């Protein structure tokens, strides 16, 4: 029995770290079109944006921990806004990096996912995403946020465990395309709000107060990261 268990664990490990065959080019393009259809229409985006909010707030939380701050909790709201609360020095590099991580997290996660998929690590991507969602769930502090995380994590878990190879590939590529494409729109939305005098306490404005660098420069950084990630990620995805 011990030998059988060891063999099963070995097979599972090989499955996770191993590579899978690249999907047909039409599937890669089709999943990109599906992701674009979730980002461009306003009505669909209002719902789909919840996934970007998860990545946004997860970015704040992860960088807060990596820079030595204490993460108190994360809240996700039905209007697709979110809030990450951490404790530590109210200024300095750690606070700056934490504030800058929100808008840059979704496109950078998409870029990392594209790198994994371009090397055939479809299952590894799904498992890493599931682990990150599970870790974030522990820090959620409101009911809507918990429900959102359970549904998202459950989807990844079901696909990674039960779905066929083709379904896993389609799901993984759709998610990565969505992170890349969906990571671009929030910065433009923030720019529009600031142009009309709104979002006075946005990440860009917080960074301006922390660094004395104009909020417009930080907004330009958000645009640069998201657009460069989209270009680089798309090249990886389309050249498999």
Helix (H) or strand (E) holding 83: strand 82-87
Core vs surface per residue 10-31: b (16+ CB within 10 A) or e:
eeeeeeeeeebebbeeeebebb
Output the pLDDT for position 239.
86
Token digits for 206? 């917080």
pLDDT on residue 240: 61
Output the pLDDT for position 233.
98
Closest CA to 191 of 225, 217, 209: 217
Taking the chain (240 residues) in consecutive chunks of 10 residues, what is each chunk's mean pLDDT? 60 68 93 98 96 98 96 96 94 96 98 97 95 96 97 95 93 98 97 84 94 96 98 92
Cα torsion through 72, 74, 77, 82, rounded to 10: 100
Tokens matching residue 105: 């997290």
Report pLDDT for 22.
86
Q: How far apart are CA 49 and CA 168, in angstroms?
A: 22
Predicted pLDDT at 196: 83
User: Residue 199: what pLDDT?
Assistant: 74
- Alpha-carbon separation of residue 201 from 85, 89, 99 (angstroms): 14, 19, 11
DSSP string, 153-205: HHHHHHHHHHS-HHHHHHHHHHHHHHHHHHTTHHHHHHHHHHHTT--TTSHHH
pTM of the model: 0.93
- How large is the greatest C-alpha to C-alpha distance in the chain, in angstroms? 67
What per-residue confidence (pLDDT) applies to 11?
62
**What is the per-residue pLDDT for 195?**
87
């Amino acid at each position: 029995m011990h030998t059988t268990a060891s063999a099963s664990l070995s097979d599972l490990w090989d499955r996770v770290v191993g590579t899978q065959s690249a999907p047909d080019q039409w599937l890669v393009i089709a999943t990109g079109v599906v992701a674009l259809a979730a980002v461009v229409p306003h009505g669909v985006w209002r719902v789909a944006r919840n996934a970007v909010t998860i990545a946004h707030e997860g970015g704040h939380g992860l960088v807060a921990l990596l820079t030595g701050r204490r993460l108190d909790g994360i809240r996700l709201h039905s209007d697709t806004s979110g809030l990450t609360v951490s404790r530590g020095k109210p200024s300095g590099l750690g606070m700056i990096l934490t504030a800058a991580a929100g808008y840059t997290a979704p496109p950078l996660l998409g870029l990392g996912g594209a790198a994994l998929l371009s090397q055939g690590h479809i299952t590894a991507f799904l498992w890493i995403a599931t682990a990150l969602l599970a870790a974030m769930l522990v820090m959620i502090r409101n009911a809507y946020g918990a429900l959102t995380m359970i549904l998202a994590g459950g989807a990844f878990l079901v696909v990674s465990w039960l779905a066929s190879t083709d379904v896993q590939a389609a799901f993984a590529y759709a998610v990565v395309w969505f992170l890349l494409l969906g990571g671009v729109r929030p910065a433009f939305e923030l720019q529009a709000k600031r142009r009309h005098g709104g979002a006075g306490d946005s990440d860009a404005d917080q960074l301006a107060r922390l660094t004395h660098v104009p909020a417009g420069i930080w907004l330009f950084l958000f645009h640069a990261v998201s657009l460069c990630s989209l270009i680089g990620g798309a090249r990886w995805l389309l050249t498999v």
